[in-house]
Amino acid sequence: MKINVLIIGDIVGKPGRIILKDKLKLFIDREDIHFCIANGENAAAGAGITGEIAAELFSYGIDVITTGDHVWDKKEILPALETNKSILRPANYSPLAIGKGYVVKNSRMGNPIGVINLLGRVFMKPIDCPFRASDEILKNISKETKIIFVDMHAEATSEKIAMGWYLDGKVSAVVGTHTHVPTADEKILPKGTAFISDLGMTGPHESVLGRKIECVLKAIVTQMPTRFDVAEKDIRISGVKVVVDSQTGNAESIRRIEVKEGD
């Protein structure tokens, strides 16, 4: 059996949520998507996420929400992280941190699918090793399913690529998030793991990584503190569709997708 999984890049603010509301279910139906993962750490005004917004995203057809270094920006998310297993925080935060970094959840076809959320260390704040964290999680999650997806939320392309090679043959896909710019390096690695360095951004693309151009330029030119408001134009969904063999857990294909407002 072939399992079609859609993985959506960083959702930025209200514009990102609006295009998902308008387009996601149509895309899921048209592409026969069985499971949908999305990074939602910027879904609340461009920084953080709340329980209410997470519920909104789930209602649009998303099955699991991953996050990253902005997971704690909105304190309203804390109760949801404690109670909703489908909202993840990076697994390599302290084991004393609220929430979990992985989950196993059934697809629309009934297949158990594992999702692991990791956070990079290069050019990021100090955090536990994501490579060792993945090893520990796979000891447990591999007993439940062969279909496993990893969101590697990281700044450095090299660290994301390294994680892809490290987990090749152990998971179905490793996808990068955080930098908001889609990369053109999607591939199937030799042992059957799909990989891409960055999924891109779901939100306003007439912007600087989702923020209003004039605000970012003011901050850069003047070197003064400036509010980075979320932009509003040229809204797109960015991500990949991965087709996985349910028996082996190996990826058979990975394809970049982009959905625009006018599509």
Residues assigned a catalytic role: 70
DSSP code at position 8? E
Cα–Cα nearest to 254, from 200, 194, 176, 185: 194
| CA distances, 213 to each of 44, 89, 117, 199, 200 (Å) | 19, 29, 30, 21, 18
**Residue pair 182/200 in contact by the 8 Å Cβ criterion:** yes
| CA distances, 85 to each of 24, 109, 151, 193 (Å) | 22, 20, 16, 25
Interatomic CA distance for residues 146 and 131, integer angstroms: 19
